[in-house]
Structure 1
Amino acid sequence: MGLYDYSVTTITGEEKSLKDYQGNVLLIVNTASKCGFTPQFEGLQALHEEFSDAGLTILGFPCNQFANQDPGTDEEIAQFCEKNYGVSFPMFRKVDVKGENAHPLFQYLTKETKGMLTNQIKWNFTKFLIGRNGEILDRFAPQTKPEKLKASIEEALKNT
């Protein structure tokens, strides 16, 4: 199975195939509303505004697996992201990103990429950069700020 074989559910409950994003560069991020890294929403939104017309799509997946840092409902999370950070990139229903109940997309992403000590996602705001062809190009640690991804994103956008 490849990336485009997966379906996800938007934060408003709509089923969406990742095939819909084929041809775009994707940045897939597991997010949280009450985390020390939550201000990264601002940087992610800035990347969205700068590069979406060039073909970048950021996909945010709230997760409550790390210190209960996203306990709200999908509706509360959506309102928080929009009100506090002006998030206008696609957000999806809250998912598990590790363990036996991990969403199949995150099982795939972690199986296909190497983390520092383990392949499992260790915290909120782990980022996966996906090329236009669905290939995983890179994985970035939670502490890597979105603005540090610009060169990698620009390179991915150049490659068709």
Structure 2
Amino acid sequence: MTETPRSIRDFSALSIDGQERSLADFAGQVLLIVNTASECGFTKQYAGLQQLQDEYSDRGFSVLGFPCDQFGHQEPGSDEEIAEFCSTNFSVDFPMFSKIEVNGPGAHPLYQWLKASKPGIAGGRIAWNFTKFLIDRDGHVVDRFGPPTAPARIARRIDTLITDQ
């Protein structure tokens, strides 16, 4: 019998450069996990996500980006093309992972756990690109933000988690 995941540390994912990465590597950090897409109306949020990374990374924070092509085929590129797009257009230097599914039978186990931890208004589904999950230093989901929530609007909550822990 498989143990039920208790924190983000119980998962691993393929990085955008093809390396298996344990999310335990981020133990003790506050994280913002986001399903991303390069051709979405919310794609400009990459700039805000990078701004959060720049502002808080030296205090134990990181954004983790998970490209997904399940919403309107808005992430059609390969992992290499996605990495190039993010670097060239938004100077993204936060960790990006290989393209995954976030809904349905092929949903990555991390996203199955995130959705169960904080169901949101779409219930047990991700409604669209740029849904954001805030993770505390203990690896637990503490908040979920819908796609329209600009990254800057999450800054105060991140600051509180970094300061309180």
Asked if Structure 1 and Structure 2 have the same fold, meaning a TM-score greater than 0.5 normalized by the shorter chain, the answer is yes
Instruction: Name which of 34, 42, 48 aligns with 2:53.
Output: 48
C-alpha offsets along residues 40-96 of structure 1, whole Å, 9 cap, x if unaligned?
Answer: 000000000000001111000000000000000000000000000000000000000
Equivalents in 1 of 2:14, 2:119: separation in Å?
Answer: 26
1:97 alignment partner, SS class: coil
1:26 alignment partner, SS class: strand
- After superposing the two structures, state which structure 1 stretch, 2-11 or 92-101, moved more: 2-11
TM-score, structure 2 as length reference: 0.95
Structure 1 segments unaligned to the other structure (5+ residues): none
Equivalents in 2 of 1:114, 1:93: separation in Å?
Answer: 23
> Structure 1: which amino acid aligns with 2:70?
Q
Equivalents in 1 of 2:108, 2:143: separation in Å?
Answer: 20
Q: Which residue of 2 aligns with 1:38?
A: 43
Structure 2 segments unaligned to the other structure (5+ residues): none
Structure 1 stretches of at least 4 aligned residues deviating more than 4 Å after TM superposition: none
Number of equivalenced pairs: 160
Q: Which residue of 1 aligns with 2:63?
A: 58
**Aligned runs of 1:1-160 on 2, under 5 Å?**
1-2=5-6, 3-160=8-165
Task: Give 1:158 deviation, angstroms.
Answer: 1.2
> Structure 2: which amino acid aligns with 1:31?
T
Equivalents in 2 of 1:51, 1:5: separation in Å?
Answer: 24
1:108 alignment partner, SS class: helix
Task: Give 1:116 deviation, angstroms.
Answer: 1.1
Aligned identity (percent) is: 51
Give the root-mean-square deviation of aligned CA atoms.
0.7
TM-score, structure 1 as length reference: 0.98
